Structure 1
Amino acid sequence: MIQLENILTDRGSKYAVSGGSVTTREDAAAFVKMLKRNKKYSKATHNTWAVILPDGTPVKNDDGEAGAGIVILRMLEREEILGEVVVVTRWFGGVKLGGDRFRRVQDCVRMYLDARGG
């Protein structure tokens, strides 16, 4: 598991990114559940995630951050990463970010990919 906390702030919103190996949709859900055992993550506004399962099936969950899961999914597709869930966590800071929220999700995923050597 890779977990990068407090990697980005934008107008009060704080971000973290986490990820690890999974083989099924249930594994991905269990990964997020495990992450949310940490009170800090369970209190986050959004834990958006995506994975491309080893059989090529894409799975995503926006967790209320409409459109963010597809951003993660597209980045995983471009990098051809299978069987690795990536979770972008956001703690809302009181100011809506509009379209910039997608850029922040991309920034987080890029930091994750850099940390894993991809």
Structure 2
Amino acid sequence: MAWEGRVMQCKRSLKFECIQGMCRSLLVVAAGLAGFWGGPNLEARAQSMPSTLNMSCAEAVKLVAKEGGVVLRTGENTFDRYVSGLRFCSMGDSLRPEWVPTRDKKECFIGYTCYVPSLDNKWD
């Protein structure tokens, strides 16, 4: 019961020292995500992301192989994280082969994306 009182105190007074720093950690994570995704430079960050449309197929494949896992733009408003192998995915994920447009090819096999097999049918 004592910890519940501290949580309520934390919520009411915005003191972030409750439950061994848990409130502070959640606030820092939330603020970081809000700043990254909703900040004023969102468009600039998206434009600075490497685009497969500006690379040859060979360059895109080489980048994924070199980095192991990399987020790439594949169009004006599309992007994904591409990996060279399963070791760059989370435990329990599977690989899905991916073909993307590049400067010289309409469909270039770039590598894979990670996905959770149990959730796969929920998107169809």
TM > 0.5:
no
Highest Rg: 1 or 2? 2
Higher helix share: 2
TM normalised by structure 1 equals 0.30
Q: Answer 1 or 2: higher relative contact order, Cα 8 Å, separation at least 6.
A: 1
- Which structure is higher in strand share? 1
